Structure 1
Amino acid sequence: MRVFEDGDVPGLPLDRFRRRLERSAAGAPWPAGAGPLRARVVAGGRSNLTYEVTDGSRSWIVRRPPLGHVLATAHDMSREYRVMTALAGTAVPVPETYALCEDPDVLGAPFYVMEMVEGTPYRSASELVPLGAERVAAIAGRMIDTLVDLHRVDPAEVGLADFGRPAGFLERQVRRWKKQLDASRSRELDGAAELHALLEANIPPESPPAIVHGDYRLDNLLVGADDRIAAVLDWEMATLGDPLTDLALLLVYMRRTTPSSAEADATRAPGFPPPEQVVARYAERSGRDLSAIGFYVGLACFKLAVISEGIHYRYLHGQTVGEGFDAIGAAVEPLLRSGIAALKGA
């Protein structure tokens, strides 16, 4: 988590950032007399860039897209900003949003500013082990319950009725991730064509639509000192659609084993419930039919493989900031194989 001085932050020229915020952040805790700014890149993200900016006494979080190779439908700052703003006041904890700038001339890309929430994005089992199995189980249970809370929010009641097109969501997802793969492919991938064909041939009837996070996992949550979920982060792929895609992606994150030393393994900590219990708790609390979960897991594997291949592409072209990107590419084909197995009932 390298700290940069003013004017030396990759993707975040602090002088231009300050001028824009002082001019446009009405209502934000950003007085004209704020002291000299410093920033650091927050580790952990593999897609959008996240910075902590401070004037020495207060801090803010800034989010912007990667420095290069931005796909047309990815890294939408206004989407993240809108959904978090809409969810304020619901049962889903989100940071307070302060300012959205869609002018790419300021930082070279759109960005937004939000509250810095205190909490821990648990990523590794070694971080959770000191808490003990009982606390780990409680955190995991709240993670599942928060997902159910999200899927219970009525989009129309929070101003998100037009946030997506739920009808035909699964079919479009299969098509979209194939298109994204073609746009980021840097090599031949064994299993990609087979998994895509299986997904096309096995699309089930869709679950009743809801707000979908798109990348729900433990390290995209901030857990407070009281072990409660303090904030849900990283909404760049949020939309309206089939909420079982969120559950399936969470299951894939829990079960995957890859050659990457950068992968999160928090769900292997003692006390964390196995996938079967996660499915049972979600089913009981949501009342949704999970009989086609194999398809959703296959789709989640395909989606995560495509995202990983895109990160691998940017890494090869020197367009990433931070560490841990060198091994991401090795995770792609194992994910494709896991997706094929899920569609075949394994």
Structure 2
Amino acid sequence: MRETWGRATPALAIDPPAATRAVATLPGSPAVLRVTPLAGGLANTCLRLDFADGRAPAVLRIHQRDPGAAPREAALHRHALSLGLPVPAVLLEIPASIGLGGPALLLDHVAGTRGDVVLAAMDDAGAAAVGQQLGGLLARLHAVHPGPVGLLGPDLRVATPFSDADAGLAGFIDRCITHGRGAARLGPVLADRLCAMIATEARRQQPPDHPPSLVHGDMDPTNLLIGDDGRITAILDWEFALSASPYVDLGHLLRPPLGDRPGFAAALAQGYRQAGGRLPEDWSIKARLVDLTAWAEFLDRPSISDGLHRSARQHIARTITIIAGATP
């Protein structure tokens, strides 16, 4: 799906001398021998650095979209590691003044292949096994409660709480669609169908069955690394982590094609519950509803690519049909 969305900003090109200057405070001040762009990501730049002294490679992640995300993401990596989650360790925090094009993090290079590539080649049983792993990891993450719904500061406390309207499903959809740019981009028929469904379902889902939790915010297979043995070796790209409903992450994982794989959703729920997470029987409906807020936010942005516009329309129409068929 994401391959049609296009990059929001051009990727940066960094040569070995510039990379060497950026990592000069590493022990031994190693020279960078080679810089290799890494696939994935639509706004920031990730580069593999290989060193002349033969030490293990590292990943240079340059924050272009939101420079303020760099210290927060560093703190998130450290906290996730303390929870036993598979994330790369932070080797250096590099300020924007170094001149790379934004502040950057130097991260451990973790072995593994991008999750979307691995899962596409797996049979349904293999995909379900990954789903069960993900459920267990997310239950561990969602057991952390930073505060009300809102954006996190570098101390991982809620720095910008959402308004009561924006924190709720109906209020957020109303702002983005009815009073935002979303209605024009969806068209009147689809916008009316969405708002009518949200009005009904938002009442049905009250009160929320989970307190706000620490969520990854972009739990997409493209942000996973999976080893040859089928184990998840890393969860990447924590830029969008926030305090919100756990259904933010669960709903993202139900997007196609992964959420359409037979047995995946059941395995995801099983892993979540086995790790201590609570899920009601209708969790998948609630997760799909919450995931609509992400698509509404896309549609309300000042500008979006044609590919993202098409994906949003298709996914919203599809979700309305699924929920209508699953609820009395």
Q: What is the TM-score when the length of structure 2 is the normalising length?
A: 0.72
Residue 165 of structure 1 contacts residue 241 of structure 1 at CA under 8 Å; is this kept in 2? no
Number of the residue aligned with 1:338: 318
60, 69, 77: which is aligned to 1:76?
69
Deviation at 1:124, TM superposition (A): 4.1
CA distance, structure 2, for counterparts of residue 212 and residue 63 of structure 1: 21
Deviations 1:147-168 (A, max 9, x none): 1122124659xx6344674995
- Going from structure 1 to structure 2, the CA distance change for 1:288 and 1:140 (only over 3 Å counts) comes to closer
1:119 and 2:85 matched: no
1:108-187 to structure 2, matched below 5 A, reads 108-124=101-117, 127-129=120-122, 134-153=125-144, 160-162=156-158, 165=161, 168=164, 170-171=167-168, 175=172, 178=175
242, 246, 249: which is aligned to 2:249?
246
CA distance, structure 1, for counterparts of residue 60 and residue 43 of structure 2: 14
Residue 212 of structure 1 contacts residue 243 of structure 1 at CA under 8 Å; is this kept in 2? yes
Deviation at 1:238, TM superposition (A): 0.5
- In structure 2, the residue corresponding to 1:143 is in which secondary structure? helix
Number of the residue aligned with 2:86: 93
Number of the residue aligned with 1:229: 232
1:303 and 2:291 matched: no
1:39 and 2:36 matched: yes
CA distance, structure 2, for counterparts of residue 175 and residue 268 of structure 1: 27
CA distance, structure 2, for counterparts of residue 79 and residue 308 of structure 1: 26
Residue 172 of structure 2 contacts residue 293 of structure 2 at CA under 8 Å; is this kept in 1? no
Deviations 1:296-324 (A, max 9, x none): 412313414644886983x57xxxxxxxx
Residue 222 of structure 1 contacts residue 229 of structure 1 at CA under 8 Å; is this kept in 2? yes
- In structure 2, the residue corresponding to 1:107 is in which secondary structure? coil
CA distance, structure 2, for counterparts of residue 175 and residue 39 of structure 1: 40
Residue 11 of structure 2 contacts residue 45 of structure 2 at CA under 8 Å; is this kept in 1? no
1:193-342 to structure 2, matched below 5 A, reads 195=194, 198-199=197-198, 202=202, 204-206=206-208, 207-251=210-254, 253=255, 256=256, 265=257, 273-279=263-269, 281-283=271-273, 285-289=276-280, 291=282, 293-304=284-295, 306-307=297-298, 313=304, 327-341=307-321
- In structure 1, the residue corresponding to 2:36 is in which secondary structure? strand
- Going from structure 1 to structure 2, the CA distance change for 1:184 and 1:13 (only over 3 Å counts) comes to farther
CA distance, structure 2, for counterparts of residue 173 and residue 95 of structure 1: 37
- The one-letter amino acid paired with 1:273 is G
- In structure 1, the residue corresponding to 2:185 is in which secondary structure? coil
Number of the residue aligned with 1:321: none
CA distance, structure 2, for counterparts of residue 146 and residue 181 of structure 1: 36
Percent identity over the alignment is: 20
- In structure 2, the residue corresponding to 1:139 is in which secondary structure? helix
Residue 60 of structure 1 contacts residue 114 of structure 1 at CA under 8 Å; is this kept in 2? yes
CA distance, structure 2, for counterparts of residue 177 and residue 18 of structure 1: 49
* Structure 2 portions without partners, runs of 5+: 1-9, 148-154
Paired positions, count? 299
Deviation at 1:84, TM superposition (A): 0.8
Deviation at 1:229, TM superposition (A): 1.9
- Going from structure 1 to structure 2, the CA distance change for 1:60 and 1:305 (only over 3 Å counts) comes to farther
Deviations 1:15-52 (A, max 9, x none): 44432331xx4xx46x3242434232x22323433222
* Structure 1 portions without partners, runs of 5+: 1-8, 257-264, 317-326
Deviation at 1:88, TM superposition (A): 1.7
Number of the residue aligned with 1:55: 51
- Going from structure 1 to structure 2, the CA distance change for 1:306 and 1:53 (only over 3 Å counts) comes to farther
CA distance, structure 1, for counterparts of residue 207 and residue 111 of structure 2: 40
- Going from structure 1 to structure 2, the CA distance change for 1:181 and 1:115 (only over 3 Å counts) comes to farther
Deviations 1:79-123 (A, max 9, x none): 222211222232211110122234267223232221110012221
Q: What is the TM-score when the length of structure 1 is the normalising length?
A: 0.69
Residue 195 of structure 1 contacts residue 339 of structure 1 at CA under 8 Å; is this kept in 2? no
- Going from structure 1 to structure 2, the CA distance change for 1:161 and 1:304 (only over 3 Å counts) comes to same
- Going from structure 1 to structure 2, the CA distance change for 1:63 and 1:308 (only over 3 Å counts) comes to farther
Over aligned residues, Cα RMSD in angstroms? 4.1
CA distance, structure 2, for counterparts of residue 125 and residue 133 of structure 1: 12
